[in-house]
Amino acid sequence: MNINAMYIFKGINQFNTFSNFTEQACWKIEKQLLKERVEKYKTEEFFLKLEHDFNIKKLTIWELKQEEVITWIDTILLLRRILLQLFKRGVNVENINIIMEYPLVFGNHMRSDYLIIYDRLIVVLEFGMFNQDEKRSEERYTKKLQESINYRQIISNSVDSSMCVINYVMIYRPEYDRAFMRDMTENIAYNNGEIDLLSKFLMLNIKKQDELTALKQLEIVNLST
């Protein structure tokens, strides 16, 4: 696939095989500051691989911040849970392509977190984490939403008008406090709720694509008589 990006996954099996390191490492979305998490994990093989794979692709003119690698792993873990929800809801997840760290061709060196591709559907998916109060959460969401709208518009202007390009932002919370070695149960419940909402949103738009197939349209015509 001749698309410039950090990774491109064809279906859930490819993505799950790649991301299995999160299970092996028992990765948790920790409350600790990103800089502190970098210091703890920067010598791990999976951290070094992600860092290397990004740098070798030369996707940006900007130097990679190691804190970004931590957020990649967090969102990879979340995406595994999202795809599992879609699978449980009966979505054909093998027909979903996932593009990670996509540099917008006409986007002044900006990059989208993920593109979720299904048939003629492109979902610009952005993640953001907040680790403080509700006001900061709202500010974080507004900022990420504007970014995703901008990315969606740039992609829409670049592809054929028959493509459906939409955007979604998921703000997530830390799920584990390493200092006290305890799960943050309220935040886990919050994230699970957001995952449920996102999976419903994706399923709705995937269903719309399925209903545009020629056979489905003929079926709808026959049912209307």
Question: What is the model's pLDDT at position 108?
Answer: 78
How many CB atoms sit inside 10 A of residue 77's CB? 18
Structure tokens of 180? 């006290």
pLDDT in tens, 174-213: 999 999 999 999 999 999 999 999 999 999 999 999 888 8
Cβ neighbours of residue 203 closer than 8 Å, sequence gap 6 or more: 86, 89, 91
- Could you tell me the maximum CA-CA distance found in the chain, to the nearest angstrom? 66
The vertex-109 CA angle with 108 and 110, nearest 5°, equals 95
Confidence of residue 137 (pLDDT cuts 50, 70, 90): low
Distance from the first to the final alpha carbon of the chain: 43
Predicted structure pTM score = 0.92
| Interval 118-125 mean pLDDT | 96
Nearest alpha-carbon partner for 36 in 179, 184, 185, 171: 179
Q: Is 52 exposed, middle or buried (0-12, 13-18, 19+ CB in 10 A)?
A: exposed
Question: What is the model's pLDDT at position 107?
Answer: 76
pLDDT in tens, 141-155: 888 999 999 999 999
Q: Alpha-carbon distance 29 to 192, whole Å?
A: 13
